[in-house]
A and B are shown apart, each in its own frame.
Chain A
Amino acid sequence: MKLSETGEARVRGYLFVLGQSLKSFLPRAVVMDAVQELESHIRERIDGAEPEPDERTALEQLLQEIGMPQRVAQAYSAEITIEEAITTGRIVPTARAFWNLATTSLLGFFPALGLLLGYLLGFGSLLTAFLKPIFPNNAGMMVVDGVPRGFGVFSDIPPGAEMAGGYWIIPILIAVGLAVLIITQRSATRFLVWWRARRGKPDGLADWPV
């Protein structure tokens, strides 16, 4: 089947949406390669198809069989980001994988929230430890009338409040921050391994026909 200008525009539109959807999660080079490969695939199938009953219907049928571009992008990005996170065990790929899961499934949202809290607590502790020598009266645990009211770095200390703890809290904050980050990271990786296994197939998506 040789496509008319309208058909070509439809294919370009499909690939554009695919590229845009992939860009949210994947590096540019990976996106370009994935789009190029799928374009090759689509054109190959178009070549072998007949414009029956008409070009538009045949093309729509073909694109429907391939799947909505957002779904195809989801399959690509889930596979790639989860794989990278598990293999490297680094924070950025893990965060990217969780962001992917959180934006594409309800079950992925809550673990992603937990991961965010873990990162915030871990990095918050390290940041507080780092800023304590610079702002000794603003970093640490804020206590009002003997009751802890907050933890971290505060620009304004309300009347009656004081920052508890001296410089001795620095090693404690570093130890706590690192421990929280390590535990969060390991838990996140284990969750991703479990997630992939739970899906029961290599590409990590349960509801796609194989």
Chain B
Amino acid sequence: MKEKPVVTVDSLDKWREQLRRGGLELAILLSVSTTPRYGLEIIRYLQESTDLVVTEGTIYPILGRLTRSGVVEAEWISEGTPHPRKYYRLSLRGRKNLDEMLDHWNAYRSKIDHLVETAGRMEQ
């Protein structure tokens, strides 16, 4: 009898998607941490810097939530632009949040790296 594979292509795709989605909020905060950016600029920045393809229907609600919770600050700017743009920047509170998120991220990553290294050594 033919055995079913433990990890199917579907489940692997789902896992990759969950992984990307889990890092999305961190990626958005990082993209506005150094300089204010507007929505389309954030989308393009994420596409160029990572493989995160983010749609408008995803990013604007997240930016709205981050603004309402005070993690980012938003400001409409119309000077020097063909259309008014809503720029987002990290707030002081957002900076603290981001630092904490990065601490967690680095700790988690080093643990996973350790697991990968250990598994690699055992295979050898």
A61 within 8 A of B: no
Within 8 A of B (CB), among A32-86: 34, 36-41, 43-45, 47, 65-67, 71-72, 75-76, 78-80, 83
For the residues of A in contact with B, the DSSP-based class is helix
- Give every chain A residue within 8 A of B22 (Cβ-Cβ): 200-201
Complex Cα gap A63–B86 (Å): 20
Given A37-B39, A41-B40, verify A66-B61 contact (CB < 8 Å). Answer: no
Q: Report yes or no: B56 in contact with A202, Cβ–Cβ below 8 A.
A: no
Q: Give the Cβ gap from B45 to chain A, nearest Cβ, in Å.
A: 14
Chain B, interface size: which category?
20 to 34
Shortest beta-carbon distance from A59 to chain B in Å: 15
Give chain A residues whose Cβ lies under 8 Å from the Cβ of B40.
Answer: 41, 44-45
State the majority secondary structure of interface residues on B.
Answer: helix
Q: Does B17 contact A (CB under 8 A)?
A: yes
* Inter-subunit contact A202/B86 (CB<8 Å): no
B93 at the interface (CB under 8 A from A): no
Chain A's closest residue to B66 (CB) is: A202
Determine the interface band of chain A, counting residues with CB < 8 A from chain B: 20 to 34
Query: Any chain B CB within 8 A of the CB of A203?
Result: yes
- B contact residues around A45 at 8 Å (CB): 40
Contacts of A201 in B (CB 8 A): 18, 21-22, 24, 58
Given A36-B84, A67-B57: A202 and B65 interface contact (C-beta under 8 Å): yes
Report B-chain residues with C-beta under 8 Å of the C-beta of A47: 82-83
Contact of A203 among B61, B68, B82 (CB under 8 A): B61
Q: Are A66 and B53 within 8 A (Cβ)?
A: no
Which residue of chain A has its CB nearest to the CB of B59?
A203
| A130-167 interface bits toward B, Cβ cutoff 8 Å, 1 = contact, 0 = none | 00000000000000000000000000000000000000
A208 within 8 A of B: yes
Known: A80-B61, A83-B68. A40 touches B17 (CB 8 A): no
When the two chains form the complex, which single residue of A36, A41, A80 contacts B56, counting CB atoms closer than 8 Å?
Answer: A41
The CA-CA distance from A71 to B60 in the complex, in Å, is 13
A-B CB contact pairs (8 Å), 25 listed: A37-B86, A40-B38, A40-B84, A41-B56, A44-B40, A47-B82, A47-B83, A65-B55, A66-B56, A67-B55, A67-B56, A67-B57, A200-B21, A201-B18, A201-B22, A201-B58, A202-B65, A203-B58, A203-B61, A208-B57, A210-B17, A210-B21, A210-B53, A210-B54, A210-B58
